[in-house]
Structure 1
Amino acid sequence: MLKPKRTAGSRDLAAIEMRRSLAQRIKELTEEPGEHLTPIPGLSLYHRTSPTPCFRASYEPGLSIFVQGRKRILLGGTEYLCDGWSFLLSSIDVPAQSQIIEASEKTPLLSIFLRLDMPMVREVLSRDDIPEGPPSAHRQGLVVGETTVGLLRAAMRMLELLDTPEDIPFLSPLAHREILYHILRTPQAGRLRAIATSGDLVQRTGRAISWLRENYAKPLHMEALASTARMGVSTLHHQFRALTGMSPLQYQKQLRLQTARLRMLMDGFNATTAAYEVGYESVSQFSREYSRFFGLPPIRDVKALKNVNTALESVV
């Protein structure tokens, strides 16, 4: 499990108070649970009041700052734990499984998501007065760090702009730069640099990921996928695994299984219909792979999920 390391004195009174203030501000701006888009470009606020089962999620290049609650994310066999003292930095659109594990009406999960403006990131990194940190040894598409007082204050200043919409066009880019500056002062700075300077190979791998997300039900031919990404098959395998922790075939399988699970849960599909819908030619193979991935056969798993959702709704 990857989670931010706690340092002595990291939870000082200033950080505790800043975190409380930020949580209160998010509550004021999000009266109802859910995702709330804001007038600030790329900025969304999240307010969740109950735990959730584990579902597929995608993470675009961005920064999530958590101030309350806990979330668990799985990517390629690696587990990331985010709590009220964490930020999550994501690179290209990576596939992951996400689960809220701590949230309630009284103490909801509250977080901020800021989509990274990559030209701005590169501009900030090009400044001579930004210290050059060590390169990132972490190559996957997600990394978790511990929020600092400076980062929390910068986030609060960005949220305060929502009170004066006329100031947003001029001041929101300044607030965005300030947030980037504080990320560059954390141990995860190398990962932000890697995202900004990863170059052509990562962008090409992103094209392969996008193709798979849009065409997961189609047969996978590695030569054709490599051609889409404009790289050799072995290079694509290497880059794909470095970013996602899995091979393209494993990624396609996860997309198929997670989509089938959602169709059965939300649309009432039976296992046979769901299997064919997501591209399986053999229902028995689908059932075997589903059981290995989720721990239960399709029908039992969906029934258990429905029981969990019913129980959560009765609590709320």
Structure 2
Amino acid sequence: MLYLKFKTKTVVSLVEYSKGKNMKTDNLSRDIDMIYDQLIGKLMDLLPEPQKTDTALRGLLLLRRDVPNQDESCVYQPVIDLIVQGRKRTILGNEKMEYGEGEYLVSGLDMPCINSEIEATSKAPFLSLRLSLDISQIAQLATEVPLDDITDDDDHWGICSAASTLEIADSFLRLISLLENPQRIPILAPLIIKEIHYYLITGPLGRCLREIATQGTPINRVAQAITWLRTHFREPLSIEKLANQVHMSESTFNRHFRKVTSYSPLRFQKRLRLYEAQRLMLFDNLDATAAAFRVGYESTTQFNREYKREFGEPPFRDVSRMRAAGMLLG
């Protein structure tokens, strides 16, 4: 089995980074360093070459990159993305967030963003594990875990990051170790996944996750609106009707939606349309006109203009570049 030495680095929590602070954590402990050594070794065995792959564990995705990649658009569904080696950048609205080995990113909502792995070499590849989150399980745990056990967090973003703990790293190590004994997956995987959910809800991002999962909170109502937009993004959008649907005034809805997602509802819908159009052109070989109408645009000219504003190039040139680079969305 191939092992690479995991170099402990000072980890900057994105929660503090996003507040403009330069707070640093202590070096990772020896125990967590050993766990990351094992995670790297197992991922190098599972991913002998650069790739993104699903696993026999439903909801678990593994990623390896040997070179930094260009920006890729995606819509994050509720996930935890544990960075085992390398660094990554996520752009959400006007915010640029960087995080790396020893940190995890959590998306509690469906969020359109742009990702790039910015630190990766053939000798020290970028390695990560992405696990889908079950919001219903978070809601159930929220009723069982005392509020005092949940860390306060005033940054109610849809996407946040924090330094990994020994417990989370160890849980992921035990989870991917099940891939060596697939007969154990049906019994043990649900227990470990529930354990990861527990550590998340009692960690630094727990307050935000709890509010996403709790009916009637402002962020939960925004989550309901996002769910509706994901299904109906092709349709004309009435902000007033959507606000009424989630039982908020229009001004309150707009304020909370922007606070949670960094976008206005209209901009959010536009990004959903453009990202889906890009996916249709890249994977289904649709031309720009067909993709534009498929996602709800009535004017190809408007689509081309907004596409170039979003991605920096006209549709045909952008998709050709992505194909040449072998890029995969998400």
Alignment TM-score, normalising by the size of structure 2: 0.76
**C-alpha distance in structure 2 between counterparts of 1:23 and 1:58, whole Å:** 27
Partner of 1:17: 34
Q: Which moved more, 1:28-37 or 1:4-13?
A: 4-13
C-alpha deviation, 1:286, in angstroms: 3.4
In structure 2, give the amino acid aligned to 1:54. Answer: D
Partner of 1:3: 14
C-alpha deviation, 1:83, in angstroms: 1.5
The 5 Å alignment of 1:98-247 reads 98-127=115-144, 131-184=148-201, 186-197=203-214, 199=216, 201-226=218-243, 228-229=245-246, 231-247=248-264
In structure 2, give the amino acid aligned to 1:59. Answer: Y
1:38 aligns with 2:49: no
C-alpha deviation, 1:67, in angstroms: 0.1
Kept after mapping to 2: 8 A contact 1:72/1:79: yes
The 5 Å alignment of 1:49-60 reads 49-60=66-77
In structure 2, relative to structure 1, the CA distance for the partners of 1:291 and 1:43 (3 Å cut) is: closer
Kept after mapping to 1: 8 A contact 2:212/2:220: no
For residues 56-113 of structure 1, what are the alpha-carbon distances to aligned partners after superposition, in whole Å with 9 as ceiling and x for unaligned? 3222223221102322212222222231221011112222222233334443332222
3-state SS, counterpart of residue 79 of structure 1: strand
State the identity %: 34
Q: Which moved more, 1:297-306 or 1:283-292?
A: 297-306
In structure 2, relative to structure 1, the CA distance for the partners of 1:286 and 1:180 (3 Å cut) is: closer
Partner of 2:5: none
Q: Which moved more, 1:211-220 or 1:200-209?
A: 200-209
**C-alpha distance in structure 2 between counterparts of 1:223 and 1:129, whole Å:** 37
Kept after mapping to 1: 8 A contact 2:75/2:111: yes
**C-alpha distance in structure 2 between counterparts of 1:188 and 1:103, whole Å:** 27
In structure 2, relative to structure 1, the CA distance for the partners of 1:288 and 1:169 (3 Å cut) is: closer
In structure 2, give the amino acid aligned to 1:37. Answer: T
3-state SS, counterpart of residue 24 of structure 1: helix
In structure 2, relative to structure 1, the CA distance for the partners of 1:133 and 1:24 (3 Å cut) is: same
3-state SS, counterpart of residue 9 of structure 1: coil
In structure 2, relative to structure 1, the CA distance for the partners of 1:146 and 1:279 (3 Å cut) is: same
Q: Which moved more, 1:123-132 or 1:18-27?
A: 123-132
**C-alpha distance in structure 2 between counterparts of 1:72 and 1:229, whole Å:** 32
The 5 Å alignment of 1:75-114 reads 75-114=92-131
For residues 160-185 of structure 1, what are the alpha-carbon distances to aligned partners after superposition, in whole Å with 9 as ceiling and x for unaligned? 23333444344334323433444356
3-state SS, counterpart of residue 139 of structure 1: coil
**C-alpha distance in structure 2 between counterparts of 1:249 and 1:125, whole Å:** 31
Q: Which runs of 5+ in 1 are unaligned?
A: none
Kept after mapping to 2: 8 A contact 1:143/1:191: no
Kept after mapping to 2: 8 A contact 1:76/1:245: yes
For residues 177-203 of structure 1, what are the alpha-carbon distances to aligned partners after superposition, in whole Å with 9 as ceiling and x for unaligned? 433444356433333333343646544
1:290 aligns with 2:307: yes
**C-alpha distance in structure 2 between counterparts of 1:9 and 1:231, whole Å:** 43
Kept after mapping to 2: 8 A contact 1:22/1:156: yes
In structure 2, relative to structure 1, the CA distance for the partners of 1:231 and 1:3 (3 Å cut) is: closer
Alignment TM-score, normalising by the size of structure 1: 0.79
In structure 2, relative to structure 1, the CA distance for the partners of 1:146 and 1:4 (3 Å cut) is: farther
For residues 180-239 of structure 1, what are the alpha-carbon distances to aligned partners after superposition, in whole Å with 9 as ceiling and x for unaligned? 444356433333333343646544433432333333333223344345545543443234
**C-alpha distance in structure 2 between counterparts of 1:51 and 1:293, whole Å:** 21
3-state SS, counterpart of residue 140 of structure 1: coil
In structure 1, give the amino acid aligned to 2:119. Answer: E
Q: Which moved more, 1:73-82 or 1:25-34?
A: 25-34
In structure 2, relative to structure 1, the CA distance for the partners of 1:130 and 1:169 (3 Å cut) is: farther
In structure 2, relative to structure 1, the CA distance for the partners of 1:299 and 1:124 (3 Å cut) is: closer
